[in-house]
Structure 1
């Protein structure tokens, strides 16, 4: 089993849409996939199973008194299951600090899923926190969507410095360009000549497209209602590159 996370310190970069669409594409390719929505906004879970919400029993979960498997719910999509979020997840950092047994708590919670799933996808909140440390420690790869603009590149540098300082394996970070608007010279220039700090930059990129925003209106993954759109094809390319890079099969 492989575990990947979609993360960015900055919000509004297309993180959740990338996480949802890649999870759906993984399941559609035949991989038993679990999507764990760790973001208290709960958008990722809402795209996959509207109306589902988490248990909110964070203390029992962190202490091992609530089997994590009880949080799993099915989606309407074959081979794709979900652990939904809820507003209680806003206190997840506090629960980890108070009740976690070491820095591998999230890894221990994920580990049992290896018997049933080929892939776990984590959708993470935008923060450098105890939870972020746990995510970096637990994953095989952290996918970081970046708008090709200076502020977003700066937050990537902050993230890279943080994981390197914590000894959390900064080589697991895989940035990719997101919300790319080819009409903007700034976007074109950064794509053509990305900074040297963007090591392991994936080739696939996600365009800025209105159809992606309609995921919110439809409460559906993009490939479900726009299978032939160019944005969908971009997500397919992204998922394929992730699978090949992280050796997911």
Structure 2
């Protein structure tokens, strides 16, 4: 049995721990977040220490020197990415809270990057992608239909914190499964240990690292339930599981 942390022991005894509770660390290890005097939260790439158990979206943006008039706020959790509205309260004690991301509300006309929409997605897939707050594209090349998402967040432990990722939409989707994932730049473990079952492919005029990860009978595709959002949750699980090997 995993030894109980000092913070958890103090919480059991009705005491508030003096330890700074790092939400990202607790979430990645699957531990429940105890009540404490201080919490460390990550907003984009910076970490901040706060002395409250909950804050509104407006207050979280203010920590990073931003306002809801100019920025959107997203919360990364174990279950995916969720919108946080300005007056919505976020509890740091809620299981699975990892970190927060800010997104500029608009770009000056003519300055934004080109976003390609070369084939149509299901409404539920577009809602999922829009909900991430990340830039995404649909790309067709050589009969391959791919959904590419820019700046996909990676768990600490890789050579980069964000990467472009694409997945390929198979004929017959959503009844037919989505398989594997492709990253650019190539991912490596920060500790230097190798990652099995990787290969390089060229798509959309750039090099991608193919992660050959496949569903097992216990995680078989469920038509009517599984879609792009559940596949990307599985991709996140692959990334986290790799670091535990």
Interval containing the TM-score (normalised by the shorter chain): under 0.3
Structure with more of its chain in helix, by fraction: 1
Q: Give the TM-score normalised by structure 2.
A: 0.27
| Pair member with larger Rg | 2
Higher relative contact order (CA 8 A, sep 6+): 1
Structure with more of its chain in strand, by fraction: 2
